[in-house]
Structure 1
Amino acid sequence: MGVTGVGGIFLRANDPKALSAWYATHLGIGDGQWGMWEQEAGTTVFSPFARDSDHFPIDRQVMLNYRVVGLDDLLGKLRAAGIDVITKAEWNDPATGSFARIYDPEGNPIELWEAPAVESDAPAA
């Protein structure tokens, strides 16, 4: 038996309580203290990038990527809260889904990903 999923994401922070509260408030992750939340099953990508890749800021070792449902609604809420949201048409693809980027208050890059809708081959009832 090997690894079965991501068990935690741990970040160093100048103000851990404030950062935990930000994630709970704006992304719905955790209770603002320990960040525990139940996740839906789905795809998780593990992908090392070349050190000089420009996929995320070169001064950051890691970029977090979170699966979301209702990306457009979430982006509206983030913008209303004064959070800068970056979107680019070239990031989106019907085969892989839609993407946006934000940064948490400590400068950690966050990619928000809405997977493409799954089309069923089952006949309509």
Structure 2
Amino acid sequence: MKRVSLIALAAVLLSPPALAAEPGAHITGIGGVFVTSKDPKALAKWYRDVLGIALEPWGGAILRYDAPGHPPMALWNAMPENSDEIAPSHRDFMINFAVDDLDAYVARLKAKGVAILKVEADKTGKFAWILDPDGTKIELWQAVTK
């Protein structure tokens, strides 16, 4: 999926929330991202040491929606199998992390020896892409602030 369609999706998400027409329970947001790894402890250590994600004693992390500078939403989007949006990863998903200062974050990653695949900006914000040790593509996003 091209960035243009993600921009349209973000515009819809930034509008007042609309719940499904069905009465009853509704999805209110992303509750977690769960990945598999041949070495989950080493992968968690990389996310802690390289990306700066604070790990909890149980081994995962809590990423709060109400953290300062966090965008007011999280996106979910299904892409075609042959989409180049996730390349060069061979995983079936990509993780997007919101950051408060993309330039400083990219500089910190470079200092830690992380290869930056690409950096770009559009009207929704600034983006950078990297791969984790398992080859999962990570999109870093600094949202435009109003």
Q: What is the TM-score when the length of structure 1 is the normalising length? A: 0.83
Separation in structure 2 between the aligned mates of residue 96 and residue 50 of structure 1, nearest angstrom:
22
Equivalent in the alignment of 2:97: 66
Structure 1 portions without partners, runs of 5+: 119-125
Answering whether residue 80 of structure 2 is matched by residue 80 of structure 1, we say no
SS at match of 1:100: strand
| % identity of equivalent residues | 35
Separation in structure 1 between the aligned mates of residue 37 and residue 125 of structure 2, nearest angstrom:
30
Aligned length: 115
The counterpart of 1:34, out of the listed 52, 60, 78, is 60
Separation in structure 2 between the aligned mates of residue 112 and residue 80 of structure 1, nearest angstrom:
16
SS at match of 1:83: coil
Residue 82 of structure 1 deviates from its aligned partner by 0.4
CA displacement, residues 78-98 of structure 1 (integer Å, 9 cap, x when unaligned): 000000012244xx11x2111
CA displacement, residues 58-116 of structure 1 (integer Å, 9 cap, x when unaligned): 73210111111100001001000000012244xx11x2111100011111100001111
Higher mean Cα deviation, 54-63 or 16-25? 54-63
The counterpart of 2:142, out of the listed 107, 114, 117, is 114
Residues 119, 126 of structure 2: 8 Å contact kept: no
Separation in structure 2 between the aligned mates of residue 14 and residue 53 of structure 1, nearest angstrom:
25
Residues 24, 35 of structure 1: 8 Å contact kept: no
Separation in structure 2 between the aligned mates of residue 96 and residue 115 of structure 1, nearest angstrom:
6
Separation in structure 1 between the aligned mates of residue 128 and residue 138 of structure 2, nearest angstrom:
8
The counterpart of 2:38, out of the listed 6, 11, 14, is 14
Higher mean Cα deviation, 51-60 or 11-20? 51-60
Residues 90, 135 of structure 2: 8 Å contact kept: no
Separation in structure 2 between the aligned mates of residue 83 and residue 7 of structure 1, nearest angstrom:
28
Answering whether residue 127 of structure 2 is matched by residue 105 of structure 1, we say no
Higher mean Cα deviation, 21-30 or 76-85? 21-30
Structure 2 portions without partners, runs of 5+: 1-24
Residue 43 of structure 1 deviates from its aligned partner by 1.7
Q: What is the TM-score when the length of structure 2 is the normalising length? A: 0.72
